[in-house]
Amino acid sequence: MVLTLAIILALFLPWPANLIVLCLGVVSEIGEIVWGRRLAKRWRPRTGAEAMVGLEAEVASPCRPRGQVRVVGELWDAICAEGADPGEIVRVTSVDGLKLVVERAEDRLGAATAP
């Protein structure tokens, strides 16, 4: 973007000034690209299985120990060692292949949610 503006401005300036503006535009464009790449590396989007760990899910079918949970509107097979009934809220702790390993979510007081 900076380089485009520098090229347009260079068309209307006299000889020594247009060269200076063009060089400054090239340097600014390189700086903008370097800055943008650093930002892109820092802000990696979280997708896939690692993004699901820590999310809360609602139990759709009894998990004793295997069942199904609904995470962000999607139905997933789940394993819950403690057991959970439909309607309960659980938290995803890990992903094992295409199965989610979940545990009961704790309420604000720190006690496990009652069925």
**pLDDT tens digits along 13-57:** 898 899 999 999 999 999 999 999 998 888 777 777 778 898 999
Q: How far apart are alpha carbons 90 and 99 in whole angstroms?
A: 14
Mean pLDDT for the stretch of residues 57-78: 92
Question: What is the token pair recorded at 107?
Answer: 């309420």
Domain 49-104 has CATH 2.40.50.140: yes
Q: Per-residue confidence at 107, pLDDT binned at 50, 70, 90? A: low
Q: How much is the mean pLDDT over the chain?
A: 86
pLDDT over 70 percentage in the chain: 90
Q: So what's the pLDDT on residue 48?
A: 73
- Each domain of the chain, given as residue ranges in start order, spans 2-42, 49-104
How far, rounded to the nearest angstrom, does the alpha carbon of residue 71 sit from its chain's CA centroid?
Answer: 15
Q: What is the 3-state secondary structure (H, E, C) of the chain?
A: CHHHHHHHHHHHCCHHHHHHHHHHHHHHHHHHHHHHHHHHHHCCCCCCHHHHCCCEEEEEECECCEEEEEECCEEEEEEECCCECCCCEEEEEEEECCEEEEEECECCCCCECCC
